[in-house]
Amino acid sequence: MTIQLSRRTAIAMGFAFSFSAHAGAAPMRIATIGAGRMGGALGALFVKAGHEVMFSSRNPDELKDMVAALGPKARAGTVADAVAFGEVVFLLVPYSSMPDVAKAHGAALAKKPLVLDVSNPILPRDGAAGEQARKEGPGTYLASLMPGAKLVRAFNALNFAALDEFSKRSEKVGVPIAGDDAKALEIASTLIRDVGFEPVVVGSLAFGRHLLPGEPLGGPHSPAELRQIAAKLN
Ligand SMILES: NC(=O)c1ccc[n+]([C@@H]2O[C@H](COP(=O)([O-])OP(=O)(O)OC[C@H]3O[C@@H](n4cnc5c(N)ncnc54)[C@H](OP(=O)(O)O)[C@@H]3O)[C@@H](O)[C@H]2O)c1
């Protein structure tokens, strides 16, 4: 079921989305499209939490050493292999590649219950696609490229090099998340909790325009801080 959530509704529902009785996520098959700095770091957290992760690249041979070091729950493949493998899919690519990813895999992605968009439109890196995504907001832009995909923005502004340390803090670091699909938000929340963070639903997919590096919601914040910051954003 896809629902449109206003920002206020989503924030108000934050506690409902907190799923206080976390029983631990059942292991899932996770695909990463992109396995560079952020894809490698985030995927490794999910492998360590017991999930099966297929990391993908246009040159999967280059991922052999990385997946060997992570053990049997990690594997490497082409992007098509990973999309076929994953129950859920994480996007960890430059926004300049989103039109190609959507064209090749959009139909398959629309069938997944969750497509987690960790990516950001960065200028000038991402060219025309980046400019358009900045103008429309990344979530709105991506939804137009991938109709039907249950998109949730998450982990967009936590640095890959600190991710492991953030995940181990005794006072949980919050991960602001934004999306329109209730089930996708629920799956994302469970997965995020499973790797040591606390999800905070800050708003709709359109509100995900605030989930960018350098923005007030970026960097490590407590869940309470994230709620306070989000409440002041339009
Ligand atoms: N670095 C961070 O700390 C951080 C934190 C949060 C979010 N992010 C965001 O996450 C995304 C990835 O950042 P990164 O730092 O991990 O970049 P990166 O190290 O340069 O890795 C980029 C990845 O994207 C893949 N890729 C590029 N074009 C592709 C295409 N057309 N089809 C499929 N895969 C493609 C590359 O795979 P190939 O092997 O095929 O080239 C590579 O695995 C960016 O949008 C970034 O803004 C980064």
Domains and CATH numbers, the chain: 8-15+27-231 (3.40.50.720)
Residue nearest to atom 9 of ligand 1 (CA): 119
- Of 33, 37, 56, 105, the residue with max ligand 1 atoms within 8 A of its CB, to mutate for a pocket test, comes to 37
Q: What is the mean pLDDT of residues 76-84?
A: 98
Distances (CA, A) of 228 to 154, 190, 221: 18, 22, 10
Instruction: Give the pLDDT band (50/70/90) at residue 16.
Output: very low
Which ligand 1 atom sits nearest the alpha carbon of residue 160? Answer: 3
Measured CA to CA, the distance from residue 32 to residue 52 in angstroms comes to 11
Q: Is the pLDDT of residue 55 over 70?
A: yes
pLDDT at position 12: 38
Q: Could you read off the pLDDT of 175-186 as tens digits, one per residue?
A: 999 999 999 999
For the whole prediction, is pTM greater than 0.85?
Answer: yes
Q: Could you read off the pLDDT of 218-230 as tens digits, one per residue?
A: 999 999 999 999 9
Instruction: Give the pLDDT band (50/70/90) at residue 199.
Output: very high
pLDDT at position 24: 61
Report the pocket of ligand 1 as residue ranges, CB < 6 Å. Answer: 33-39, 57-59, 79, 92-94, 97, 100-101, 118-120, 122, 155-156, 159-160
Q: Is the pLDDT of residue 74 over 80?
A: yes
Residue 55 Cα to ligand 1 midpoint, Å, equals 12
Token digits of residue 115: 């497509």
How would you label 143-168 residue by residue, b for 16+ Cβ within 10 Å and e otherwise?
bebbeebbbbbbbbbbebeebeebbe
Residue 134 Cα to ligand 1 midpoint, Å, equals 17
pLDDT at position 11: 38
Which ligand 1 atom sits nearest the alpha carbon of residue 213? Answer: 6
SS3 state of residue 6: coil
